[in-house]
Homo-oligomer: A and B are copies of this chain.
Amino acid sequence: MQVAIMGFGTVGSGVAELILKNKNSITSRSGQKSFDIKYILDIRDFSSHQLANLFTKDFNDILNDKDVDVVVETMGGLEPAFEYVSKSLEAGKSVVTSNKELVAAKGYELLELAKKNNVNFLFEASVGGGIPIIRPINQCLAANETDEVAGILNGTTNFILTKMIDEGMDFDEALKLAQANGYAERDPSADILGHDAARKICILASLCFQKHVYPNEVQTEGITNITKEDVDYAKAWGGVIKLIGRAKKLESGKISATVGPCLIKNGCQLASVTDVFNAILVRGDAVGDVVFYGKGAGKFPTASAVVADVIDCAKHLEKRKLLGWGPAENDYVITPDEQSSSLYIRAAVADYNKTLNEINATFDGAQILNYEGASQTEISFITPLMNEKDAREKIAKLNLETKNILRVLDY
């Protein structure tokens, strides 16, 4: 079997190295007689690379070569990835991608195209890097109806929050350290504003609930607004702040889809996920909660997922795998207003005791948070579990100078 790799960046080069390193076991597990890389597409010059003879700058070399059974797309971005992947599928080649932007924006179209051409379009590496998650949801949990899927889906922001929690750094300091370590880009906005996590929750929600969810349907909030005070109040409550992507089936049959910093209790599986690690929780009606944990990014973890998909394509060269979802539906993804939530609020106060009394009069069972050294010019509390819209209206009526409102999760 012959493979072409498009894009020789971190992931693409990891895919090539991994195939060469574990070639014997990979070939045997694929059920094929051979398992070879025939082309590597990259516009940059790799003429002195040890694999130099495999490189091409012309996508048509891959497209027109009948020997190429599987195309790996690790270029990233929407174009030309979308064009190349579409053409490859139309030419009867299976495609494996690690490109979450592509799957979140074009997943339904590409899955339909794969179906039409009787080939596979697999994307295990697009969520959670090396963590097995797409295939387990699709196959291992196939007997379940999913109630909820949620997780720590972005390693960069989890690293930043970990440094804020464990070492008392402020956001800017932790971001700089993430950049110095190569975890954050020079322009870190896709990570810290939550867009990367939003793409991933789209893919998970589409798979779990079987209708395509687009990034613009996800209520997305990043972590730039989180301060040391929030971290300390969360500690006083007995938990941590994590950036959580979450999609949840509501009683109406619709779903809510959000990305935002949330408070979660210490002791739950997501709370102990630190540094650049990711974890994804799936709540099924039969299985209950299952959690998948591991490295959500990086050269070899991501390559591990890509190559596993290539092996799966090799096993299914004649018969398609059943993997996919239906088109998006209007008004299917709704704002989380109608879900039950408990909210964390931090606000500036002029008169602490007066505000305290107003909060207690407004919310029966509000939990006031405090820690040693907390400023008396701020107040922080947690509402009881209630309709989120009602809670937000009540908070608005309190006329607080609100610094942060975060959801509190009950995992």
Contact = CB atoms under 8 A, between A and B. Distances in A.
B286 A300 contact: yes
B142 A136 contact: no
Nearest to A306: B143
Q: Which of A31, A288, A319 has the most CB atoms of chain B within a 10 A radius of its CB?
A: A288
A308 B29 CA distance: 22
A272 B291 CA distance: 12
Interface string A142-157: 1111000000000000
A31 B319 CA distance: 12
Contacts of A18: 143, 286
A243 to B, nearest CB: 19
A131 interface: yes
Nearest to A307: B143
A304 B287 contact: yes
A269 B293 contact: yes
A131 B286 contact: no
One complex includes copies of this chain to the number of: 2
Contacts of A29: 142, 322
A141 B304 contact: yes
Given A132-B132, A135-B136, A293-B269, A141 B287 contact: no
A327 to B, nearest CB: 16
A80 interface: no
Given A22-B144, A132-B136, A290 B286 contact: no
- For chain A, which range describes its interface: under 10, 10 to 19, 20 to 34, or 35 or more residues? 35 or more
Nearest to A140: B132
Nearest to A25: B145
Contact of A143 (B311, B315, B319): B311
A144 B140 CA distance: 20
Contacts of A290: 130-132, 292-295
Given A141-B308, A304-B144, A294 B291 contact: yes
Contacts of A390: none
B311 A286 contact: no
A272 B311 CA distance: 34
A267 interface: yes
Contacts of A144: 22, 304
Contacts of A271: 272
B308 A139 contact: yes
A92 interface: no
Contact of A287 (B26, B130, B284, B322): B130
A274 to B, nearest CB: 7
A303 interface: yes
A89 interface: no
Nearest to A299: B286
A294 B411 CA distance: 13
Given A140-B136, A142-B29, A311-B143, A295 B288 contact: yes
Nearest to A31: B322
Contact of A142 (B142, B267, B291, B311): B311
A58 interface: no
A42 interface: no
A300 B272 contact: no
7 contacts: A31-B322, A132-B140, A143-B303, A143-B307, A269-B269, A269-B272, A291-B291
- List of 6 A-B pairs having minimum Cβ-Cβ separation, nearest first: A132-B140, A143-B307, A290-B294, A130-B287, A286-B304, A132-B136
